[in-house]
């Protein structure tokens, strides 16, 4: 237990409760932070800022109480809309008429009796209140990360069944059966189990949360000396005794996980002795009870609070974070072991923020002195596996960043002459900006720089683009050559932008995780592209060069030409061998891969996408597997030969597609030295694709260097934001199920560009399932709303046109953005969600006789605006995707 827990008090007083969640299956553990001090009482703007900072830190789960009023509802909805699920801290409800346990004056400063006596816990009252509250939350479409019932019920702090005054006793199992004080506590524990059974019943009959784990209330850890308890005149039951008693009375049938709290003493942080003491403390306080799901006895543990006692260096700004960094590393190493053994359900650091409505900053906070601390970042970093053996710890300062791709190429004497990424630095020592965004509201521009570990500081973008939209206007070259990429000004083929230029990519359309951070990739739809026609030191006229880009194996089309690399300086097709760019496309025309449908990696050498030195399909160019992140490689000695490779950017090594002679007519190469991204040499802009990073080298890199770079890429841990499927969080894949009685087996789907509802079942054809699967994107016209991208046709979005919904390519224009942006709210029939057009709050997405429209309630201008069934027809359940 934390030796001073007053900050939690206010939240408990409102909810008269504490909560506890758990995990049911074999999902990876959730990682997040506690949010205390009644965060729902913040203003909407303050909440927005908190959510954005949490998002930027990769936090997708928070532990919080939610009061059953409008504030609580709005808070939960707001968090969920930002992709943050709440592990709901619940309290028991007392028998009617039970007075709140009034703390005798002498104990006022000691933080005791902040919870009802458990012996008054009334399961019926709980069921009535929490059942109604959950229904309200679900009507807003909110899915929770867990239900945690009770907080630290095993000591005087949060259970008023413990007597006052007390002597600092630690009761054991025997005491629960035979000691008068113990028997009273045991009676309360039995009442607590009845409330847990009520919670399970509510959960099992809920609409959206049937798979949400239930966690027993986080139990307070005790120090082995008992000194603390004696000093505050409190008693406790040991964690093991509490769990054994509850297990013997049916706990394991009611919960999916055990809540535990750990506040070990910081004894020589970073030393072997300190680490041993930390493990011993955890073992004394419940660690041995943690078991994999489905074990005969025990449950995965949810460490729903953890921090340290006795840390120094955190009292003044700037803080000295070194001890806490060491302690967090030790703790995460234990958690990692537990996760490895499938015995961990969740880890929720205590606590996130300092100053919210508190008189003074809480030095336990991850966020201190106005910024996320390094120790905080490590404590909430989402991927527990990444923290194994302290790997991440050594990466916490820029001077400790290990090699990045351009360091590897430099060491191999083929240095980068261009290095572009919106995700990370491609040199260990690069400290400049990665890219620039421009916002629609006032045309102001903002550079997006780096965090200290060399990953993009996406929070800068989030803050700058709040309540407006941003496009990526420039991707800076990190090499000393300054070969920056700007939005292409056009070429032989004009773009849809001003004066024939292309469009910039929406800056927040592609949220991903890299290095444990939430960052953004560049999502290119037809009409978008980047170019630099005046470069320095890029290969020309048969000089050797190499390049790779990280792209997507699921977001692509067959339009010309999703390229990254060397192209014509005029933006026109100047003939064979004037280009040398790596290309990621479903190539249905240049080499006719109709027998090998799907994505391929090719070389765009101008007037041909080459899979080898023939103008025919090379099956080895086919990137099988639907990998969300791929690496695509081309190197060319400019005189005789070229090499193509591809790799899964999330694991494994490289596959060589071809390595041999250049095609006839392409010897020698005649490169011109412009750099393109997402378009062809002549500015053809029919392609779609994703870009995360890419470099170009001078010289023909060795295979060894390529392999080392691929390993470096894999170590980034590229991934989707976690915990997404079935939610309205950007990046999540979802289905939209009708709720009208006629049609509850129907889902919104694409049918050759039209949008309809139709039955989909597990045995439907894969094509139908994909057509009924949508990717949630931040609203293209307003990032507090959402847009829906087709799973099957990347770059195509649901949009209204003449009040009917269609699936059409995003063309970047303001009208297209608005027509494709929908704002969710609670379902009009109290089920799921309804979505109104961003520019017209009266018109909602509605199905009518099988087709999907936008319709207002009974304006009678259209047949589909009839009031009959309107509220049912505009309500859809956001569910898991049909096609993962």
Enzyme catalytic residues = 606, 682
Structure-block tokens of residue 723: 């915990």
How do beta strands 416-421 and 693-698 pair? Answer: antiparallel
- Quote the CA–CA distance of 73 and 263 in Å, as a whole number: 31
* Residue listed under structure tokens 């070194």: 322
Residue with tokens 């390993």: 711
Among 48, 136, 502, 573, binds ligand AHR (CB under 6 A): 573
Q: Confirm if 479 and 420 have CB atoms less than 8 A apart.
A: no
Is there binding between residue 561 and ligand AHR (CB under 6 A)?
yes
With contacts defined by CB under 6 A, name the span among 142-150, 192-200, 540-548, 602-610 that binds ligand AHR. 602-610
Give the total of residues touching ligand AHR (CB under 6 A): 13
Least distance CB 573 / ligand AHR (angstroms): 4
Which of 175, 606, 693, 746 touches ligand AHR by CB under 6 A?
606
- Pull the structure tokens for residue 764: 């439907």
- Nearer to ligand AHR among residue 368 and residue 579 (C-beta): 579
**Minimum distance from CB of 570 to ligand AHR (Å)?**
11
Least separation in angstroms between CB 682 and ligand AHR: 4
681 binds ligand AHR (CB under 6 A): yes
Q: Can you tell me the distance from the alpha carbon of 565 to that of 773, in angstroms, rounded to the nearest whole number?
A: 33
- Quick note: the x/- pattern for ligand AHR over 465-484, rule CB under 6 A, is --------------------
Half-sphere exposure of 302 (CA within 13 A, CB side): 40
Cis check for the bond before 257: say yes or no (omega within 30 of 0).
Answer: no
3-state secondary structure of 578: coil
Please report, to the nearest 10 degrees, the dihedral formed by the alpha carbons of residues 722, 728, 729, 735 taken in order. Answer: 50
Angstrom CA distances, 128 to 93, 123, 135, 767, stand at 10, 9, 11, 44
Of 12-20, 146-154, 542-550, 599-607: span binding ligand AHR (CB under 6 A): 599-607
565 is an interface residue for ligand AHR by CB under 6 A? no
* Shortest Cβ 556–ligand AHR spacing (Å): 15
- Residue from 616, 610, 534, 548 nearest 579 by CA: 610
Based on DSSP, count helices (H) and strands (E) in the chain, helices before strands.
18, 44
Out of 1, 560, 757, 855, point to the residue binding ligand AHR (CB under 6 A): 560
Q: How many residues does the chain have?
A: 884
Candidates 16-24, 331-339, 600-608, 829-837: pick the segment binding ligand AHR (CB under 6 A). 600-608
- Residue window 651-680: x/- pattern of binding to ligand AHR, with contact defined by CB under 6 A: -----------------------------x
Residues in CB range of 708: below 8 A, 6 or more apart: 403, 408
Residue 651, burial from CB neighbour count under 10 angstroms (0-12, 13-18, 19+): exposed
Query: Which C-beta is closer to ligand AHR: that of 268 or that of 589?
Result: 589
Nearer to ligand AHR, 109 or 541 (CB): 541
Q: Which residues, numbered 111-170, are part of the site for ligand AHR (CB under 6 A)? A: none
Stretch that binds ligand AHR, among 471-479, 505-513, 542-550, 604-612 (CB under 6 A): 604-612
Q: Reply yes or no: is the peptide bond before residue 668 cis, omega within 30 of 0.
A: yes
3-state secondary structure of 156: coil
Q: Which of 37, 47, 436, 607 binds ligand AHR (CB under 6 A)?
A: 607
- The residue among 293 and 600 lying less far from ligand AHR, judged by its C-beta, is 600
Least separation, in Å, of the C-beta of 269 and ligand AHR?
57
For residues 688 and 794, the answer to whether their CB atoms sit within 8 Å is yes
682 binds ligand AHR (CB under 6 A): yes
**What is the footprint of ligand AHR within residues 540-559 (CB under 6 A)?**
none
What is d(CA 795, CA 798) in angstroms, rounded to the nearest whole number? Answer: 10
Strand partners, 260: 219, 303
Of the pair 506, 609, the CB lying nearest ligand AHR is at 609
Cis peptide before 798 (omega within 30 of 0): no
Q: Which is nearer to ligand AHR, 433 or 561 (CB)?
A: 561
Alpha-carbon separation of residue 79 from 64, 228, 493 (angstroms)? 11, 36, 44
Of the pair 138, 672, the CB lying nearest ligand AHR is at: 672
Dist CA 108 CA 102 (whole Å): 10
Buried b / exposed e over 61-87, threshold 16 CB at 10 Å, is: bbbbbbbbeebbbebbbbbbbbbbbbb
The DSSP 8-state label assigned to residue 21 in this structure reads -
Q: x/- binding map, residues 185-224, to ligand AHR, per CB under 6 A?
A: ----------------------------------------
Q: Which residues between 684 and 713 bind ligand AHR (CB under 6 A)?
A: 684
395 sits near ligand AHR (criterion: CB under 6 A)? no
Q: How far apart are CA 870 and CA 651, in angstroms?
A: 49
Interacting residue with ligand AHR among 608, 721, 824, 881 (CB under 6 A): 608
Sole window of 293-301, 383-391, 605-613, 818-826 interacting with ligand AHR (rule: CB under 6 A) = 605-613
Phi, then psi, of 853 in degrees rounded to 5 = -130, 180
**Of the candidates 609, 675, 677, 780, which one interacts with ligand AHR according to CB under 6 A?**
609
Outline where 140-238 has alpha helix (H).
Answer: 173-178, 180-204, 227-232
Shortest distance in whole angstroms from residue 560 CB to ligand AHR: 5
- Whichever of 38 and 604 has its CB closer to ligand AHR, that residue is 604
Q: Choose between 331 and 560: whose C-beta lies nearer to ligand AHR.
A: 560
Q: Which is closer to ligand AHR, CB of 540 or CB of 579? A: 579
Shortest separation between residue 607's beta carbon and ligand AHR, angstroms: 5
Q: How far is it, in rounded angstroms, from Cα 32 to Cα 880?
A: 22
Only segment of 52-60, 410-418, 426-434, 681-689 that touches ligand AHR (CB under 6 A): 681-689
CB of 574 to ligand AHR, least distance (A): 9
- For ligand AHR, which is the closer residue by CB, 451 or 560? 560
Q: Is 316 exposed, middle or buried, given 0-12, 13-18 or 19+ CB atoms closer than 10 A?
A: exposed
**Would you say the C-alpha torsion 373, 379, 382, 388 has a positive or negative sign?**
positive
Residue nearest to ligand AHR (CB): 680
Candidate list 252, 321, 374, 604; residue touching ligand AHR; CB under 6 A: 604
Minimal distance, residue 654 CB to ligand AHR, in Å: 24
For ligand AHR, the closer of residues 609 and 845 by Cβ is 609
CB of 325 to ligand AHR, least distance (A): 49
Q: How many CB atoms within 10 Å of residue 295?
A: 13
CA distance linking residue 310 with residue 266, whole number of Å: 6
Residue 610 Cβ, how far from ligand AHR at the closest point, in Å?
9
Site residues (CB under 6 A) for ligand AHR? 560-561, 573, 579, 604, 606-609, 680-682, 684
């Amino acid at each position: 237990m934390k030796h001073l827990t007053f900050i939690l008090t206010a939240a408990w007083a409102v909810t008269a409760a504490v909560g506890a969640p758990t995990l049911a299956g074999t999902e990876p553990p959730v990682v997040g932070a506690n949010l205390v001090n009644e965060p729902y009482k913040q203003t909407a703007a303050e909440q927005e800022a908190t959510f954005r900072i949490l998002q930027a830190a990769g936090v997708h789960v928070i532990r919080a109480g939610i009061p059953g009023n409008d504030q609580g509802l709005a808070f939960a909805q707001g968090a969920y809309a930002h992709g943050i699920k709440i592990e709901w801290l619940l309290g028991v409800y007392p028998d009617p008429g039970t007075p709140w346990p009034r703390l005798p004056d002498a104990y006022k400063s000691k933080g005791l009796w902040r919870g009802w006596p458990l012996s008054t816990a009334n399961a019926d009252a709980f069921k009535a209140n929490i059942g109604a509250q959950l229904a309200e939350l679900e009507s807003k479409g909110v899915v929770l990360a867990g239900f945690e019932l009770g907080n630290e019920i095993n000591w005087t702090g949060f259970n008023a069944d413990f007597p006052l005054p007390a002597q600092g006793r630690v009761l054991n199992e025997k005491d629960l059966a035979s000691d008068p004080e113990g028997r009273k506590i045991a009676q309360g524990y039995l009442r607590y189990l009845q409330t847990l059974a009520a919670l399970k019943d509510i959960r099992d009959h809920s609409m959206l949360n049937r798979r949400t784990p239930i966690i027993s209330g986080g139990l307070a850890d005790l120090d082995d000396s008992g000194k603390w308890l004696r000093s505050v005149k409190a008693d406790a039951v040991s964690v093991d005794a509490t769990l054994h008693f509850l297990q013997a009375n049916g706990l394991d049938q009611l919960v999916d996980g055990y809540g535990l709290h750990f506040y070990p003493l910081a004894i020589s942080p970073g030393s072997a002795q300190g680490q041993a003491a930390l493990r011993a403390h955890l073992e004394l306080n419940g660690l041995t009870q943690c078991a994999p799901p489905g074990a005969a006895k025990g449950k995965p543990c949810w460490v729903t609070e953890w921090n340290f006692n006795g840390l120094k260096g955190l009292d003044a700004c700037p803080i000295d974070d070194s001890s806490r960094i060491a302690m967090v590393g030790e703790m995460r190493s234990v958690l990692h072991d537990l996760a490895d053994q499938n015995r961990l359900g969740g880890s929720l650091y205590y606590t996130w923020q300092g100053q919210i409505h508190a008189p003074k900053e809480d030095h336990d906070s991850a966020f201190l002195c106005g910024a996320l601390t390094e120790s905080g970042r490590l404590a909430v970093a989402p991927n527990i596996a990444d923290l194994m053996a302290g790997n991440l710890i050594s990466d916490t300062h820029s001077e400790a960043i290990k090699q990045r791709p351009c360091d590897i190429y430099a060491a191999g004497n083929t240095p980068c002459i261009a290095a572009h990424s919106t995700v990370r630095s491609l040199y260990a020592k690069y400290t400049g900006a990665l890219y620039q965004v421009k916002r629609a509201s006032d045309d102001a521009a903002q550079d997006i720089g780096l965090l200290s570990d060399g990953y993009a500081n996406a929070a800068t973008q989030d803050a700058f683009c709040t309540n407006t939209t941003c496009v990526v206007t420039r991707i800076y070259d990190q090499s000393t050559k300054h070969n920056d990429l700007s939005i292409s000004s056009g070429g032989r083929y004009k773009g849809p932008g001003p004066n024939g230029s292309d469009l910039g990519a929406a800056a927040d359309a592609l949220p991903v995780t890299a290095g444990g951070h939430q960052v953004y990739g560049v999502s290119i739809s037809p009409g978008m592209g980047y170019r630099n026609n005046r470069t320095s030191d890029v290969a020309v006229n048969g000089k050797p060069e190499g390049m790779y880009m990280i792209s997507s194996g699921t977001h692509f089309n067959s339009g010309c030409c999703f390229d990254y690399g060397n192209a014509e300086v005029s933006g026109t097709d100047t003939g064979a061998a004037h280009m040398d760019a790596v290309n990621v496309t479903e190539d249905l025309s240049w080499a006719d891969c109709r027998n090998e449908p799907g994505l391929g990696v090719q070389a765009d050498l101008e007037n041909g996408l080459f899979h080898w030195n023939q103008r025919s399909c090379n099956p080895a160019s086919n990137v099988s597997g639907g990998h969300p992140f791929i690496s695509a490689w081309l190197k060319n000695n400019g005189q005789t030969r070229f090499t193509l490779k591809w790799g899964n950017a999330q694991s494994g090594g490289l596959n060589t597609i071809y390595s041999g002679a250049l095609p006839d007519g392409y010897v020698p190469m005649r490169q011109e030295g412009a750099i393109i991204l997402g378009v062809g040499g002549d500015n053809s802009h029919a392609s779609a694709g994703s870009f995360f990073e890419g470099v170009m080298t001078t010289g023909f890199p060795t295979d060894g260097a390529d392999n080392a770079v691929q390993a470096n890429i894999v170590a980034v841990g590229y991934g989707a934001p976690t915990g997404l499927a079935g939610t309205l969080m950007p990046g999540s894949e979802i289905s939209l199920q009708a709720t009208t009685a006629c049609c509850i087996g129907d889902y919104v789907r694409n049918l050759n560009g039209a949008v309809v509802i139709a039955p989909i079942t597990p045995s439907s054809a894969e094509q139908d399932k994909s057509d009924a699967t949508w990717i949630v994107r931040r609203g293209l016209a307003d990032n507090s709303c959402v847009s829906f991208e087709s799973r099957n046709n990347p770059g195509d979005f649901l949009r209204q046109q003449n009040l009917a919904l269609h699936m059409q390519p995003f063309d970047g224009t303001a009208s297209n953005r608005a027509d494709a942006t929908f704002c969710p709210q609670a379902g009009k029939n109290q089920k799921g969600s309804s979505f109104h057009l961003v520019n017209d709050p009266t018109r909602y997405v509605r199905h009518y006789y099988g087709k999907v429209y936008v319709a207002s309630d009974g304006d009678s201008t259209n047949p589909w605006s009839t009031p009959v069934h309107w509220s049912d027809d505009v309500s859809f359940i956001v569910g898991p995707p049909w096609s993962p």
